[in-house]
Each structure stands twice: as C-alpha cells, then as structure tokens.
Chains A and B, each alone.
Chain A
C-alpha cells in the first residue's frame, strides 16, 4: 500500500500558456459540447480528488469545480505555473499537465503516480525527449523550483539533475500508450483539426481499429526538424504509405511543410521514402505492413 507520504492526490493543470500560434486560448478549444479544459478535468477527476488549475491573470475560463489560481505575473513558463500549482495542492505529490492534451491515457497517468516511491519526480522519456508537462512532482521540490524561478531558469528540466528523478523509459510507456498519444499537444489550428478528427472518430466508436504499427526512421532534414530519429505510428487494416504520412503528420506536425505536404497526403519535392532499406517509394498507395520500417530521407544523394 502506498503511504500518505507517497500519495499522489492532486493534479495540476497549467492553462495559462501562450496560444500565439493557435490564435485563441487552447483551454477553450471545444471538443464536442465542452471546452478542452473541462474534458481534461473530467478525466483526471476520476483519479485525483484534488485538482488545481493555474491560469493567466485575467484569462477567461468556464465555471470549474476546482481550485483556481492565477499566475502572479503574466505567463512565466512552465516553472512559474508549477510553483503556483504546487503551493496550492493539498497532497504530497501531484500529476502535472498542460491543458491542451486531448488524449491523456489515464492508465499511464496512474502508472506514473504508482512509480513515485523512492523518487521526487517521475517523468516520461518518450522518443528521445523528456516530457516535464506530463509528469509527477513531489511538493517537496517546491523550494528548488522557486529558486529556479528567481534565477530565470524557466525550464523544468533544470530540476531533474538536482532531485531523485525517475525517467520512465519508452518500453514501459508503450505498454500503456503504444503510440504516445498522451504527449500529443496542440500548437496550431492544424493540430487542433487533426486532434478533433481523431477524437471524433474515437468517441463515435467509428475509429478503425489499429491493425498494427510501423516504425518511421527519419534522416537529414526530417530528423533535425523533428529532433528524433524514429517514431512509431499506428496503422489501420490494409494500410498504405499515405496512412503512414498522415499518422506522421499528427505525431510530428513540424514535418508538415518542409517534408510532408500541407495536406499530409504526400512528400514534398526532394524527399523520398524507402521501405525496409530496400525499395524507394513515393507512391502513397503503396501497401505498408505492420512491422515495416519506413525510412524518410532526402531524394537527392549528391555529395
């Protein structure tokens, strides 16, 4: 049994982040009848009795059955929000997330909470990147975060070296969220559109069941832009390369434009895919089988 000192009884939702590229407040984006922030709260409330929402000064929000705190100064980055949230929460540790995450996996969130004993922070390490805004923090790290805030170190990662941090590895995460949709957040209207489509499909029960997954290996421009060398994508039954592209666009929206076409239905000029290191393909109709490796690279091999 987890004792009181290891109990993660709170969730902190950071709602005050900038929405400059989205053009409107992310917390208020509607999913069905509800604004997104309500959807997120509803999910987390099934796990945590205590919910704290950190909003920007003057930020418009609906009536919420939660503790609402406002950033003292306009948005100071995640460390600011974390400090305000931890100050207000009523248990020894809290799960912290941003508000623009429509696909939180509750099994994964409760797994993170269960891994806290012996650590001060539990943070997922997904596809080469730490996910500090999908992590569990002990209240006891608050003084360190406050000092960081004073020094202007606005990124939570600076904390991780100073305390007992458990970086949850990919395999462990995949067992509960195979494609990492938990970490999908929305920065642009396109991201919102894509999330909405997936959300509708899922809630309508009309989503085609995932028939398997394939690995996409990124090279050159794609790798540098995405800051990762590989991602795994979910494939429907009888998948084609076009399905891979659209799944990739959802996972790595930064590739849309430079590498994938705006409609995510093809590759931009100068790029090509290769299946399993063997055949070069640009045709979206080409079948892709579960377990295939799709390499994405420049089509110009001049050196």
Chain B
C-alpha cells in the first residue's frame, strides 16, 4: 500500500566507499516519528555507532524531510539536520528551510544519510538521473552563498537547490552551520560534521511529487491556516521580525549583556528592532511557501543589506558589549559568509572578552567588551582557525577546558552549547528549559519562555508547576519540528494536537488522532534523551552555568533576582517527575517500553566533555589566507 505524504525510503551515501544505497523506511517508523526532527533522531540513533566521535567518518549526518513539506501549507518548507554534535557530544538537531527543503522532498526521499569521509572535497548531487559525487576542490574556501551560486551554474539548472558549508565548516569550527539560500541549520556544529566528511555541498534537483491522501481536505486546511497566519498573532513577525525582542527583553531585565553580567544594555534603544526598522529597514523576506515572512534585511552604511534576527543581534551586540549597530550588522555578515552560528560565535567571543578582562587570556587579540574592531577581526580568525581564533573555534566550553585557570566559570553554556538571548534568572521557566534541553542551551526545540510571558506563572519565581510546563513545551516543539510547521505559526492553532493530527491524517491517509500525535511527540523528545544517555550523559549535564546560579541580577526591573542551586534542583525534580523519568533524569525502562523505544544500550564510558577528537587533518584550504 502506498503511504501518502512520504516516499517511504531514504538515500544512504557512504563517502568512504563512494557508494550509495536506497533503503526502505518502514511505515511504522514514519508513523512513530512523523518526520523532520523525529525521523532524523530515530535514524541517528540507528546509524550512529554508540560513542562515535562526532568528527569521525562514522558519525552519520542525517537530512530529514517531513510529511507536510511540499504540500504548500504555509511555513512548512523545512528540513531537519540531525547528527552527533562536535560542540556538545550529544544530539544536534537543527532546522533550516526554504527551497532546498522542497528539493529534498522532490528527489524522492524522506531522508538523506551521509557517512564516511571523502578523500577530496566533494559535492553530492542527487537528481532524477541518479546520484553523483562531483569534484568540489575548486569550491573549497568559498562561502556557502558563493558555493551555492557556483554549483547551480555548473549544474545549469534553475531548479537545482544547494546546501553548503562555508570556510568555518571546512575548518571544523565546532559551531559551523550548513546553509542554503541565506538560511542556516545553525546550532550544534552540523557544518563541522559536514566539513569533516569533506562534503562541501549537496545539490538536489528532482521532480518526484508526493501525493496527499485527501487533496481537498489539505487545500481547505491550507486556506484556513493561511488566513490565520495573517492575523494579529503573527503581527510581530510580519511587521517587525524577531528583532522586536530586544527592546522588550531589555525593559524586562531579560536581555543578557556583557557575557550575562548585565540583564539590560545601555544601547538597547539604538539596537532595538523598532529603531532598526525606522532608520535602516531595507526589505522583508521569507522562506518558500510562507505567508508570515518574518525575515528582515537592514541597510548597512557600507551600502549592502544584511539579514538580522534577534538572536544574532543579541549575541553580537549586547552579549559582546557592542553598541554600534553598523559593527553588529558587519559581524552578522561575517558569520553568514563564513558559516558560523552567530549565537555560539557571540557567546564564545564574550567568554574570551571576560577572560581577557580578568587577565586569564593574554592572547585575546584585543578582545574586550565593546571592542568592535577586535570582534570583526576575530570572526574570520575563528573561521580560519588563526591565532586565538583556533582556540575559540572550539566553542566556549572546550576553549575554557583548554585554557583552565577557572575560566570554565565564565563559559555561558549548557552541555557545551552557548546560551541564547533569554536571561534565565528573570525567565525561570526558561531557565529549566535551558537546563534540560537535549541539545544544550536551546531556545528552538522548545519554547519554555512562553510560560514566562503568559502571566500564568511569575517569571521571577520558580514555584511549580514548571516541570510540566517545560515538558509540554518540549513535546509541542517536537511535534511542530517533526511535521514540520514553523514555530512562529504555533499560536495560530486553536487546538494544536487535534488540528495537526487531522492535517497529518489528511496528508497521509492514516487514521491519526491527537493522542497519537501527543505520544509521538513525547517519544521523539524522549529518544533524544536516550541517545544522549547512550553517548555518556550524566545528571550534572542538566544544569546552568555557575554565574546564573550564584550571581544575582545586577540591574533592571529584576535587579537582585537570583536563581539558586536549590531552586534549580527543585525544578529539575519537578520536571523529571512530570516526564515520568527516573529521579536522576534517566529514562526508565518502563518509559522506554511504553513509548516503544529501544531498550537501554551500553552507555559510552567516555563523557563527551572528556572525549578528545582523533587527529583530523584539516584539508588544504583554497582561497583563504593562511595565517
């Protein structure tokens, strides 16, 4: 029987042997893990040898499509990239979007799994005619955008869509991105994994459409969602963009500045989304098949235009103490061009700045809070691993472990992933969300901050039921990210699980209920935890940086607010209980069974923090100045 909404197969390309294989994906797996992040997690679990070193050839790099991709439903042109993170040693599950996502579906697979390492830089091309490994030596050193253009020109197809790594991915910067059409699978260093495989780019071009089970039903749902996507719920994203967060967070004492030493920033007005819009707005943009179109491009004084999101603005501005918006726009441009996660870039630079100011890092290349020139010099140095950039390319946790001298205290990360721009001390539901997220300090795979903004809890207080709120937000995220629907559409549903399950039923022809979707969401989230456990997770990995747990907020409306270790411990206990896990945060056998997850596997003895990378020969670089 044909499954609607899926192709029912994956493509496995092994770069060691240069061979590829089309493999069936069973309907059971699709039904249990839906697609996107869920399908990707499930494939990672099976393809990754337990304890695999993230930059070793055996670490699988999974690109997963989703049942709603290609249906034309608003905000669904998305794909997931899932692998073991070289930054955290745990799961890295990132999303990206637009035409590449549609192309992935159109080449006739639900997932593309890449393993191995090519002897020379390659571009993987999947077309209707088959699979081709093309020489990419001439592309080495190019930015992702230039690579995209070059590959599309070489393949002479307007319909060819390309995802690529920039120099940061080639040079195994542990927070390198994979990007397509100016968007990035940003967090966790998926670009370093792709670079470690000597895989410069993936080009896709296909015409395999997937039929949906109930075309009229899907069309009606699409029309309804499109209409709702244009209501006041999404006005922020349509009229201002995510940059709107900056002024609000500053006012609420929730804008981390100067490596989380301050929860407000003097130049917040100058950097705010509102003032950027009023003075430098250039253009609004969006992913393919999206009606919300939240992307904003701003004019830089250099004449160009630069995309800006809140997280990039926060990380390269307040977090590093940069007040000059032109410098922030330029820093963002550099991160995009080299293929760096702007949050981890800002977080790691801010760590270096604090270390430099404390005299712990003498060779910091002039890095000090607010030193714009030094930041603009450091970003290319990180991407090219030059000078202090080589240390910073490891991310704040590994850099701190290498530096020692107590500098780990100033690394604002969880599980090795740098914190996003949500101050945990004044957003306490979010604090718990950040502490327990499988991929480290993450604001995307769940949205625990939503509770803090709802008025249903006191954001400055950690009283229960924080555990249940975080768990619900994670499951909601897992469902959205697996279907895949953009999180910015999330508040347009009246009854999300019922509507989404109905949609999935109309696309796939399955008799799929809200309860089944809820269960799938819990299963997906729990499998991420099971993966982490297998890779060496320990209870202390669910935590927050010492600064957050020892220093009270120094300014703003929440001045004096603290988050104590006891408070966090209580919230964790509440969370594990809400999840039905063991008291120490491990997933019990009973829970695994109930969710149909694999039994516990031998746990990697090596904790990711202690695992050292096998020596990897950084491939010869073209087009980058060695230094």
Query: What are the interface flags for A246-272 relative to B under an 8 Å C-beta threshold, 1 for contact and 0 otherwise?
Result: 000000000000110000000011111
13 contacts between A and B (CB under 8 A): A220-B236, A224-B240, A229-B274, A259-B235, A269-B231, A272-B453, A277-B251, A277-B253, A300-B233, A302-B490, A303-B310, A303-B314, A303-B421
The CA-CA distance from A299 to B491 in the complex, in Å, is 10
Q: Residues of A at under 8 Å CB distance from B?
A: 217, 219-221, 223-225, 229, 258-259, 268-272, 274, 276-282, 295, 297-303
A281 to B458 CA separation, bound complex (whole angstroms):
11
B239: Cβ under 8 A from any A Cβ: yes
A297 CA to B454 CA in the complex, in Å?
12
Q: Are B278 and A224 in contact (CB under 8 A)?
A: yes
- The answer on a CB contact under 8 Å between B557 and A276 is yes
Which residues from chain B contact A224 at a C-beta distance below 8 Å? 239-240, 274, 277-278
How far, in Å, is A7 (CB) from chain B's closest CB? 40
CB nearest to A271 among chain B residues: B232
State the CA gap A269–B458 with chains docked (Å).
21
Residues of B within 8 A of A282 (CB): 455
B251 contact from A219, A225, A259, A272, Cβ within 8 A: A219
Q: In the bound complex, do residue B235 and residue A270 qualify as a contact, i.e. CB atoms below 8 Å apart?
A: yes
State the Cβ distance, B469 to closest chain A Cβ, in Å: 14
B496 contacts the other chain (CB 8 A): no
Q: Are B557 and A219 in contact (CB under 8 A)?
A: no
Residue from B232, B443, B449 in contact with A258 in the complex, judged by beta carbons closer than 8 Å? B232
B82 to chain A, nearest CB (A): 22
Contact, CB under 8 Å: A274 / B236 = no
| Chain A: minimal CB distance from B230 (Å) | 12
Which listed residue (B231, B443, B487, B557) contacts A278, Cβ 8 A? B557
Are A303 and B311 in touch, CB under 8 angstroms? Answer: yes
B453 A280 Cβ-Cβ under 8 A: yes
Q: Given A221-B240, A279-B455, A299-B453, does the pair A270, B251 have CB atoms closer than 8 Å?
A: no
B233 near A303: Cβ-Cβ < 8 Å? no
Partner of A219, one of B237, B247, B491: B247
**C-alpha gap A271/B491 in the complex (Å):** 12
Residues from chain A with a CB closer than 8 A to the CB of B273 are 220
Chain B interface residue number, banded: 35 or more
Chain B: minimal CB distance from A219 (Å): 5
A272-B233 Cα distance, complex, nearest whole Å: 11
Question: Is there a chain A Cβ closer than 8 Å to B450's Cβ?
Answer: yes
Those of B227-246 within 8 Å (CB) of chain A: 231-237, 239-240, 242, 244-245
In the assembled complex, the CB of B291 is this many whole angstroms from the nearest CB of chain A, namely 15
Known: A279-B455, A302-B488. A219 touches B239 (CB 8 A): no
CB pair B232–A303 under 8 Å, yes or no, is no
Report the bound CA distance from A280 to B459 in whole Å: 9
- Determine the distance from Cα of A34 to Cα of B247 in the docked complex, in whole angstroms: 46
Main secondary structure of the interface of B (DSSP, over half): helix
Residues on the A chain within 8 Å of B491, using CB:
269-270, 299-300
- Cβ A298 vs Cβ B244 within 8 A: yes
Query: Which positions in B face A, CB cutoff 8 Å?
Result: 231-237, 239-240, 242, 244-245, 247-249, 251-253, 273-274, 277-278, 309-311, 314, 420-422, 443, 447, 449-450, 452-455, 458-460, 487-488, 490-491, 556-558
Contact between B231 and A223 (Cβ–Cβ < 8 Å)? no
Which residues of B are found within 8 Å of A272, using beta-carbon distances? Answer: 453-455
Verify B240–A220 contact, CB threshold 8 A. Answer: yes
The 4 closest A-B pairs by CB, nearest first: A277-B557, A303-B310, A280-B455, A298-B236
Contact A217 B245, beta carbon cutoff 8 Å: no
Contact A217 B235 (CB under 8 A): no
Given contacts A279-B455, A302-B487, 11 further A-B contacts (CB under 8 A): A219-B247, A221-B240, A224-B274, A229-B274, A258-B232, A270-B232, A270-B233, A278-B557, A298-B236, A300-B488, A302-B490
Assembly CA distance A303 to B460 (angstroms): 20
Which residues of A lie under 8 Å from residue B234 when comparing CB positions?
A: 270, 300
Bound complex: CA A295 to CA B459 (Å): 16
Closest to B450 in A: A301
Nearest CB in chain B: distance from A257 CB, A? 9
Partner of A298, one of B248, B443, B487: B248
Residue pair B242, A302 in contact (C-beta under 8 Å): yes
CA separation between A269 and B228, bound complex, in Å?
Answer: 11
In the complex, what's the smallest C-beta–C-beta distance from B311 to chain A, in angstroms? Answer: 6
**A295 contacts across to B, CB distance below 8 A:** 248, 251
Whether the pair A303, B443 counts as a contact (CB closer than 8 A) is yes
CA distance A241 to B33 in the complex (A): 45
In the complex, what distance in Å separates the CA atom of A298 from the CA atom of B243?
12
Q: Is the CB of A269 within 8 A of B274?
A: no
Most buried by A among B247, B420, B422, B443: B247
Q: CB < 8 Å: which of B231, B239, B245, B458 contacts A303?
A: B245
Give the chain A neighbours of B556 by CB distance below 8 A.
277
**Could you tell me the distance in whole angstroms from the C-beta of B418 to the nearest C-beta in chain A?**
15
Chain B neighbourhood of A303, CB < 8 A = 242, 245, 309-311, 314, 420-421, 443
Contact indicator A301/B274 (Cβ below 8 Å): no
Q: Which residues of B contact A271 (CB under 8 A)?
A: 232
Contacts of B450 in A (CB 8 A): 300-302
Contact present for B235 and A281 (CB under 8 Å): no
Q: Are B557 and A301 in contact (CB under 8 A)?
A: no
Assembly CA distance A280 to B556 (angstroms): 16
Closest Cβ neighbor of A295 among chain B residues: B251
Q: How far is the CB of B487 from chain A (nearest CB, A)?
A: 6
Residue of B with least CB distance to A303? B310
Task: Give bound CA distance, A4 to B485, whole Å.
Answer: 72
Question: Once the chains are docked, how many angstroms separate the CA of A281 from the CA of B421?
Answer: 23
- A94 CA to B188 CA in the complex, in Å? 67
The answer for the CA separation of A271 and B460 in the assembled complex, in Å, is: 20
Residues of A within 8 A of B242 (CB): 302-303
**Cross-chain contact B236 with A277 (CB below 8 angstroms):** no
**Which residue of chain A has its CB nearest to the CB of B244?**
A220
Chain A residues near B558: list those with CB within 8 A: 277
Shortest Cβ distance from residue B241 to the other chain A in the assembled complex, whole angstroms: 9
Q: Which residues of A contact B490 (CB under 8 A)?
A: 302
Q: Known A300-B491, A302-B487; judge A220-B458 contact (CB<8 A).
A: no
A279, B277: Cα distance in complex, Å? 28
Take A219-B247, A270-B233, A279-B455 as given contacts and tell me if A302 and B447 are in contact as well, using a CB distance cutoff of 8 Å. yes
**Interchain nearest-CB distance for B342 vs A (Å):** 12
